[in-house]
A = this chain, B = another copy of it.
Amino acid sequence: MKKRYLLAPGPTPIPSKTLLDMAEPIIHHRGPEFSSILGEIREGLKYLFQTRNEVLIFSSSGTGAMEGTISNMLSKGDKALVVNGGKFGERWIDICQAYGVDVEIIDVPWGEAVDPSIVKSILDQNNSIKAVFIQACETSTGVVHPIKEIAEIVKDKENTLVIVDAISALGALDIPTDRWGLDVVVAGSQKALMLPPGLAFASVSNKAWRFVESSNLPKYYFNFKKELMSLSKNQNAYTPAVSLLIGLRESLNQIKEEGLESVFARHEKLAKATRAAMTALELQLYAPTSPSNAVTAVLAPHNINGSDVVKVMREKYGITIAGGQGHAKGKIFRIAHLGYMDQFDVITAVSALEMTLHELGYHAELGKGIRAALEVLKD
């Protein structure tokens, strides 16, 4: 008998009630029952995104909504500024380039957050930049970028949008879309929303809708205006992933019931406990100065390959964590505390990690990490 634990930064575990809701017989997406559910979902998404604007829904992975954001906001030859500090920063660049958008890049060392003053000085020198693209949480490095500060810089610039990939952040970290003035916030179903992958979301500010009017890039499946019009009638433009939307209604209800503040506080506590455990084990955090409360990235100890840590965790202990991506492959491992997770998921992760590292030849005192985690969790 081997119990399985999923502690990677997406997909994340799904509450049983949600799984069973999605296993109900499917209903038709053009009938009144589904429309009424979509009406509830629209309200729930506004609560989650902390916005009064409509949140668009796409049946795709988060990458689809990232692409849609670019193809709906920009035009060929437009200039964009991308903060690139990890694999998902690179994705903004790749999509822009696929569409002939001219990209200026701020290269941030992996594991570090961008310095907002660099964003400011580039924007001040170049008023033709139409959009700043950034991650709220760069999942590949476990870094949180200073979104609030960057939004503050962009806010007064009539011709520039701030566009945030919050796929692994929304619902885990406090990202008040309207209060901070974020123009587009992209999210996905398989992170803090506690659902299978297959749904993506994008909130769109009034300022951003003006950009949509002048955009000339080709788009069809990810057509923001068409989805907005359909949503106003409690419909989706194309056949939506019905069962995932049934699950979404339940997840949004659960989040509403716990309350966003409690959800954020829970993620913060779990993250702090995890980081305390790593430090007690004398492991180095990969993002020590600006760590995310969604996922903790840890440097593998000297002489130990991060991929081996992931492998032993999975094969010996039934626990799925994530390794490094891109040039961090082999150097780090990543433990999520994201979505449907509580303190005992942290305890499980840390205790398995202690045993794994021991087996791989790293001899920290057993239980030292757990003790540090408990010190944080007990309050």
Chain A positions within 8 Å of B, measured between CB atoms, are 4, 6, 8, 10-14, 19-20, 22-31, 59-64, 67, 71, 94-95, 98-100, 188, 190, 196-198, 217-222, 238-244, 314, 320, 322
In contact, B198 and A241 (Cβ under 8 angstroms): yes
A31 to B243, CA, bound (A): 24
Report if A239-B62 is in contact (Cβ < 8 Å); known contacts: A6-B26, A67-B221, A99-B218.
yes
A98 in contact with B6 (CB, 8 Å): no
The answer on a CB contact under 8 Å between B95 and A220 is yes
The answer to whether B190 touches A63, judged by C-beta atoms less than 8 angstroms apart, is: no
Q: How far is the CA of A243 from the CA of B243 in the complex (A)?
A: 10
CB nearest neighbor in B for A10 = B239
Distance, CA A14 to CA B100, complexed state (A): 42
Contact A61 B238 (CB under 8 A): yes
Q: Closest 10 CB pairs between A and B?
A: A198-B241, A196-B243, A23-B23, A19-B23, A61-B239, A64-B221, A61-B238, A63-B238, A197-B239, A67-B220
Q: Which residues of B contact A314 (CB under 8 A)?
A: 31
CB neighbours of A27 from chain B (8 A): 4, 6, 11, 320
Whether A320 contacts B196 by the Cβ 8 Å rule is no
**Distance in Å from the Cβ of A90 to the closest Cβ of chain B?**
13
- How far in angstroms is the closest Cβ of chain B from A53? 23
A100 to B217 alpha-carbon distance, docked (Å)? 10
Contact indicator B190/A239 (Cβ below 8 Å) = yes
A11-B242, A22-B243, A239-B10 as given contacts; A198 in contact with B98, CB under 8 Å: no
State whether B26 touches A23 (Cβ < 8 A): no
Are B29 and A240 in contact, CB atoms less than 8 angstroms apart? no
Residues in chain B near residue A100, CB distance under 8 A: 218
